[in-house]
Structure 1
């Protein structure tokens, strides 16, 4: 594939606008916008800014995002401090990291560069240091040609929509004001990753080690390759690794949390106790038991929630998940005396609802799991360690634990590729699709659910149908996918 790169030169003088007396410079939203070709719709999706490199993401845009992120983070911080910057293994991540650092330092911000690391590493270190924010360069589970920019505030949480809009306002030449001091400095701070690693091991308070467990780890050629094997080995587990080199050409390709087949086969081949598959930036994880059975986020939430419930560490027996959570999980959790609150898809929405309600455990079926006893954001390594510890402490296999949990309702999820961004985001305006959805809902009644939505991270519309009857789920999935393909995708 030949990618057309935007080679518009960057006018750095645009970032040093009207000088004020002394070392500070006043800036506003009229800086260099003509250099950028921005889509008319919002840049920020459900997990930062994400897109194909050379189409949406390029060095000029990253430089300006870095600059305006630096301005906005300084405007809303009550202290001065650095911004922590990390990246995954994609070939484009080095380029974007350097451009973002140039923009941040042009805004007067000091940059602490971690290099290759999981997304939760950036979030954790941002929350535990004097940093005013953090930036992670990753497209998570997306293919190698994509990349993304995730921004965190000073407490390690995903940046609020209000601050996202302020950054985007600066990019679009809208009124954003601030005072920028002298240029910041860029420092390599790789040693800080060790602090994150130590915290993960310390979080296993009641399990001294994982000795006796044979664990297979699929690192997806991504951000966890340098950390996960060492942490599990240090904890005493016997570790078998798959896709455990940093490879930007192969990140997420037929491996990791979106492709479990190799992990399932390897677990069975080596008679391992459990397997874990991470995505490219290791903020999500899925598991498999010794038979190769998939353990998605619903099962992880149920098992971890039941454990916390028994330890009286789950306020109101509450779990926060999304509209994708399976009905079988919800009804089984209610039978345990628990309560499930659903949010829109996206771990930022789960996190916001947990903060609002005081919930301590939440996550997504896809493997983003948040446990506020230990972290503010989804953390695949943390989740994997705790599920492994749960198996070790229980004395029974993960398979036995699953057998005693719940049975999922048949749930079909189909992705329909829709390149036209406007048609994708405005899919609700398609009357034939809305009519078909209404017919499906009336047909299934309380025996099923329908969810149609535009992905916030990929150019697809997702169609999910869940029903007590597999034949019914299959029928309505095919019907709705047909409507999307006919009226929106073409």
Structure 2
């Protein structure tokens, strides 16, 4: 049930039905109740959502499931994923829950869980929740049911926290910044944070209607931000995704900077001004150009599996402080326990201010290889489970590429696709090879007989 980042599916399809989400909350609540040792009679969880029209239905399902298991729910309303993580830790709740499908379209929804420390749940606990769901759902007596309360100051608390990401002595006065909130959970919060720090803010993608989240706006469609930055002659642009944990930025010339480039900017700034030691964590999909640039600066580089939770796990194993993904999930343990788009954007702007350099200048030593990523659709529940053909296919693809680059195949943990990533020295070759490999993958997934022949 659990994927790379919680539970996610089209609304009305398993597991994103109100019945299943109620059972999911009940199973999680049972585990929390068994582990609870606090002074309060019942454990409590914080619940926040993005702006999808289906959010309130799943909020109600979560309330019912947790209450039946004897767990209190504290409703935070619309709040970015990192905001729920922060409030969970701040208020001492036993868990945090976010109703969001992140960067996915509005037709999808999902549920993410955080531990009491603001971290994503470990694989072992997710597995235990799934096992508990197999048991009959039993409602506690009325006197032992969990209670529901509101936290109306949730957004204010999170805004105050975000402001702390800007280093002391810096301000944003004199800067014109375009913020694209993807019609998502940051549509009020992100502009307010930057305004309070002195910036002139132009907000786009800030008019959610329940159906337009991530719809050609935000971090997954940065061209929208690029056009807005040029139209308003802004200094910089900030694009977030629907739940506020991804970041893509645009400079004054309209050039787009994705996660790997922003991670490099953060690493150089931290090394120069904050004494960053050790190294930086990326993923198997991180650009080789990033790795080589960091090594030239004397910083180590380690690759985790895809997913910010895996980046965080490797950061903790290495004792390092900074990591991220090319998609824009950036984790700086000096300012938060999880990926935070707003805070990461503030740190990038701080790097610009402290160095008195533009994004283009800050990335001048970064020579990125061309990457082409193709998502090959697959039918949900088929073709994904048996991926034994992938290593054989990848080995053959790498032989075709030779020394010119690399290829990576992986089944997505958040969408019904197989991702085909090709990295080469030139964009044309990367595009050609990615298209070729994607076509072959599609044929394999739809023709079992052909698959057997190729992988034999």
1:397 aligns with 2:349: no
301, 310, 322: which is aligned to 2:283?
A: 322
Structure 1 residue 262: Cα displacement: 1.4
Distance 2:142 2:70 in 1: 6
Is 2:430 the partner of 1:473? yes
Corresponding residue to 1:55 among 3, 13, 16: 13
Give SS of 2:327's match.
Answer: coil
The C-alpha deviation readout for 1:220-276, integer Å capped at 9, x for no partner, is 110001201111111100111111123221000111111111110110111111101
Instruction: Give the match's secondary structure for 1:452.
Output: strand
Which string of whole-angstrom CA distances, capped at 9 and with x for unpartnered residues, describes residues 67-99 of structure 1?
A: 111111233344253100000000100000111
Q: Which residue of 1 aligns with 2:384?
A: 424
Displacement of 1:451: 0.6
1:440 is aligned to 397
Are the counterparts in 2 of residues 257 and 286 from structure 1 also a CA contact under 8 Å? yes
1:105 alignment partner, one of 59, 62, 67: 67
1:335 corresponds to: 296
Instruction: Give deviations 1:176-216, integer Å, cap 9, x for gaps.
Output: 9x999811110011213322211111232334310111100
Residues 224 and 244 of structure 1, relative CA distance in 2, 3 Å threshold: same
Q: Secondary structure at 1:212's aligned position in 2?
A: coil
Matches within 5 A, 1:18-33: none
Q: Distance in 2 between matches of 1:179 and 1:303?
A: 55
Q: Which residue of 2 aligns with 1:410?
A: 370
Kept in 1, the 8 Å contact 2:290–2:367? The answer is yes
Residues 49-198 of structure 1: matches in 2 within 5 Å?
49-56=7-14, 57-79=16-38, 80=40, 81-173=43-135, 182-198=144-160
Name which of structure 1's ranges 180-189 and 259-268 shifts more when overlaid on structure 2.
Answer: 180-189
Q: 1:365 maps to what in 2?
A: 326
Secondary structure of the structure 2 residue equivalent to 1:424: coil
Query: Aligned Cα RMSD in Å?
Result: 2.0
Structure 1, 230-239 or 193-202: larger mean CA deviation: 193-202
- Which residue is equivalent to 2:261? 299
Conserved in 2, the CA contact under 8 Å of 1:452 and 1:464?
yes
Shift of the alpha carbon at 1:170? 1.6
| 1:270-314 deviation digits (Å, cap 9, x = unpaired) | 111110111000011110111111111111111110111112432
Equivalence map 1:366-381=2 (5 Å):
366-381=327-342
Describe the shift of the 1:420–1:195 C-alpha distance in structure 2 as closer, same or farther (beyond 3 A): closer
- Mean alpha-carbon deviation: is it higher for 67-76 or for 419-428? 419-428
The structural deviation recorded for 1:477 is: 1.4
**Could you report, residue by residue, the CA deviation over 1:437-477 in whole angstroms, capped at 9, with x for unpaired residues?**
32321233443111100000001110001012434423321
Distance in 2, matches of 1:489 and 1:291, equals 44
In structure 1, the residue matched to 2:199 is: 237
Distance 1:135 1:391 in 2: 34
The alpha-carbon distance between structure 1 residues 246 and 361, as it changes in their structure 2 partners (threshold 3 A), is: same
Secondary structure of the equivalent of 1:422?
coil
TM-score (norm 2): 0.93
Question: 2:274 and 2:171 mapped to 1: Cα distance?
Answer: 23
**Aligned-residue offset at 1:385:** 1.3
CA distance in 2, matches of 1:203, 1:221: 23
Tell whether the 8 Å contact from 2:170 to 2:350 is kept in structure 1 after alignment: no
Q: For this pair of structures, how many residues does the alignment match? A: 442
Q: What is the CA deviation profile of residues 391-435 of structure 1, one whole-angstrom value per residue up to 9, with x for unaligned ones?
A: 223222222222x23121011100011014231232333xxx655
Q: Distance in 1 between matches of 2:353 and 2:328?
A: 21
* SS of match in other structure, 1:196: helix
Point out where structure 1 has 5 or more consecutive residues left out of the alignment. Answer: 1-42
Q: What is the TM-score when the length of structure 1 is the normalising length?
A: 0.87
Give the Cα–Cα distance (whole angstroms) in 2 for the partners of residues 75 and 309 of structure 1. 44
User: How many angstroms apart in 1 are the aligned matches of 2:12 and 2:80?
Assistant: 24
Equivalent residue, structure 1, for 2:454? none
- 4+ long deviations beyond 6 Å: 178-181
What is the alpha-carbon distance in structure 2 between the residues aligned to residue 165 and residue 201 of structure 1? 36
State the distance in 2 between where 1:77 and 1:357 align.
Answer: 30
Deviations along 1:317-374, one digit per CA (max 9) or x if unpaired, are x100101110111111111111110011000000111111111001111000000001
